[in-house]
Amino acid sequence: MIDALAATPHVTRREDYREPDWLVPEITLDFELDPAATRVRATLSVTRNGNHDRPLRLDGDGLTPLSVKADGTDAVYEMDGPALVVALPGDDHIIETEVEIAPERNTQLMGLYASGGNLCTQCEAEGFRRITFFPDRPDVLSKYRVKMTADKARFPVLLANGDPVAQGDAADGKHWAEWHDPFPKPCYLFALVAGDLAANTATFTTLSGRAVKLGIWVRTADLPKTDHALHALKLSMAWDEKVYGREYDLDVFNIVAVDDFNFGAMENKGLNIFNSRYILADPDTATDYDYDAVAAVVAHEYFHNWSGNRVTCRDWFQLSLKEGFTVYRDQGFSADQGSEAVKRIEDVRGLRAAQFPEDSGPLAHPVRPDEYVEISNFYTATIYNKGAEVIRMMATILGPQKFRAATDLYFQRFDGTAATCEDFVACMEEAGGTDLTQFRRWYSQAGTPRVTATLEHEAGDGRAHLKLRQSVPPTPGQPDKAPMVLPLRIKLFGSQTATPVGEEQLVLLSDGDAQLSFEGVTERPVLSINRGFSAPVIVDTNRSAADLAFLSAHDDDPFARYEAMQQLMLDTLVAAVTQGRADHGPVIEAVANTLADPALDKAFVAEAVLLPSDSFIGDQLPVVDPEAIFQKREALRRDLGKALEQQWRAAYDAAKVNRFEYSPAGKGARRLRTVSLGYINASGAPDGADLAFAQFEGADNMTDRQGGLTSLVNSASDKRIAALDIFYNRYADNALVLDKWFQTQALATREDTAEAVEALALHRDFTLANPNRARALVGAFAVNQRAFHSGDGRGYRFVADQLIALDKLNPQTAAKLVPPLGRWKRFDAARAAKMRAELERILATPGLSKDMTEQVSKSLEG
């Protein structure tokens, strides 16, 4: 019988935080690198922190000490589970440890591991303890000196954090290199890379005139695909100087791309390590989305040099301090590189697709969580994307000048330290002269607030009254919620003249209810609310379909104009699902007006005319009916395609670009062309498949090629198989493009998609060992609402089988794929029972990781 206490996972709680007992001002690491057996010798300068007699406790994971010395002599130590404990007299000591690790057997891709013949590291959040014994927590900041010795032929390039100090040859065909990082950092920012790599290099001159050597390291064959990333890096460095006054501080900044990576990228000081997906790009292999993502992720990781590295987190509960702030910063960078309106639409769509469901499900948690079992499970849309919206709201409340003063104060006050979310908000208060006491609830309360807005007009008196009411729904562990501070940008328009009724107002809704009055309103007003998506909330209004159509044509805020169209479509689709039928006329007319408006750029038009996704429609319903949603959405797509076929064809032809150019205009044209192609095919036009195949075959870029392929994959045309075969044969040796091949099929809305995905899991090119490939097939299929939720439950069984197998290789990646199964309570009883049964089967698997145990247990409880 298993002891109940022993089986209960350890819970880490924010309220239990205590400063580290011992600090490590300096550490020297000496690596004898070998994929099968790497020796790691660590020398730690340790200092007792405070007046106590507690021993030195060094975290480890899978390590066995070969040697432990204190001040030059063998130390008496004990192992407390995976941790090494040494009792020490006095306050200052030199601790030396030696361990041996096997990078080539590290399938978790945490710590030091092998990828594509190279050796690299990933230490956030708790991977450093898999390399050597150390107090593995973010509030222990150390200066690092690192020496690496390796076979010169096999690993000719040796990189680490900081700046290079020395290098040379050693015996037996080996060589060595030494690097030094003068800036104290937590161990999660440690990095090294050893491999056969080539660099695309450049020099960036900082604001103060310092020359920084930039290098993007990849396989030699991939060098031509790194120009875009290098250009994005230089733009990021200049942007951060201009917008935030942040200058780079080392002499070298390196990025390395690897194929096997759990995250998108990692901001290790001076040596960023990237998933190759977010570095490699050329027109033949990368879509416009890929190009945008490369630039955004390069910027995000570079911006971490200040918001994350120079000022880091006191503990992992403060993760959004660095991630939410840095996402906000990279969103601003991306908006400045192209269309601010389109970028905002893309960001909000992503928030609604990932974070809103998270906030309404069993895994809901605050931006600053209160407890965790496995911290890797909290690298979530709430921490990152909702966290960014919290920063955005503070910037809105303070205004640009005060917000910049507040960030300057934050960086100046906490440079070189480990800070908290509270420290950041306090700087906002101090520099902004604003009381943010109630606003802090955004950090402590989970759930998406809901605002009800009711506008009434007294025509005879020329007055309008706006009633606002907010509520925050209960979430696991938080049944009762207090009102939040909601910055709502509001404007009224005359329904006849389309002229604004006064200026836009910023309303801070802080009570449960509020009422605003407007004078001099002679014609019936139409409400534009939450303009620019000024608060991450759900808004219900008493606007009619005619009002929404009016705003979709006349609102002067681009996001609000897009939002009105989306709400019109959403209301129509929800009515169709719940009532069996709905009038498509208003949507068709509004889309026609948008297509015909010459003042709108193609990128905005493409976003505005897209129907809401199946999953977002489902989020509006008390019980999700996947097949009904799909059929009603397809019916509206078909009617839009048929009624406006000539306009779609005109838009398709007008958006043709003779030669690929990565630019806002080029991206917009390709986006509208693909959207138009989709509607032409939805109409049932007899030449639709031929048009898609011609685009697929004739494209000079991946955006157009994949756009044609996607239309074909979702069709019944015989050209579907031909296109998939052509695509596969062309790109069989390119792992990143082959991911697209798997993903496109996993996202297909055909009735046989589940069967096709099962077959793809047996394909010779499919492997769970590579996170990108696992996400491309299993992850994509799990968010394909129609296919995953097929009534027979085969989709649930397939995903559960894959997660059980993946957990044995890479628990972190497996755990991140649990949420689609975890939303079982949102579906009908039959589907819910099948989903719950698969979760229970996963939980009963012997040897299940704590990553998976936490995610699945919470999903079952929720």
Active site positions, annotated: 301
What is the DSSP annotation of 368-397? S-SEES-GGGG-SHIIIIIHHHHHHHHHHH
What is the DSSP annotation of 77-146? EEEETTEEEE--SSSEEEEEEEEEE-GGG-TT--EEEEETTEEEEE-TTTTGGGTS-B--STT--EEEEE
Distance between CA 771 and CA 312 in Å, rounded?
27
**Residues 17 and 314: beta-carbon distance below 8 Å:** yes
94 class by beta-carbon count within 10 Å (0-12 exposed, 13-18 middle, 19+ buried): middle
- What's the sign of the alpha-carbon dihedral 241, 247, 253, 258? negative
Q: Dihedrals φ, ψ of 563, to 5°?
A: -65, -40
Closest CA to 493 of 567, 557, 555: 555
Distance of CA 278 to the CA centre of its chain: 12
Radius of gyration of the chain (CA): 28
Spell out a b/e string for 617-631, using b for 16 or more CB atoms within 10 Å of the CB, else e: bbbbeeebbbebbbe
Distance between CA 223 and CA 243 in Å, rounded?
31
Distance between CA 233 and CA 296 in Å, rounded?
10
Residues in CB range of 425: below 8 A, 6 or more apart: 394, 436, 439, 440, 443
Token readout for 34 is 């070998």
According to DSSP, the residues that pair with 32 across neighbouring strands are: 39, 149
Token readout for 690 is 């031929």
Long-range CB contacts for residues 63-69, cutoff 8 Å, separation at least 24: 63/99, 63/101, 63/129, 63/130, 63/132, 63/133, 64/99, 64/100, 65/97, 65/98, 65/99, 65/133, 66/98, 66/99, 66/100, 67/96, 67/97, 67/98, 68/95, 68/96, 68/97, 69/95, 69/96, 69/97
Q: Dihedrals φ, ψ of 170, to 5°?
A: -130, 180
**Residues 442 and 421: beta-carbon distance below 8 Å:** no
**Residues 553 and 597: beta-carbon distance below 8 Å:** yes
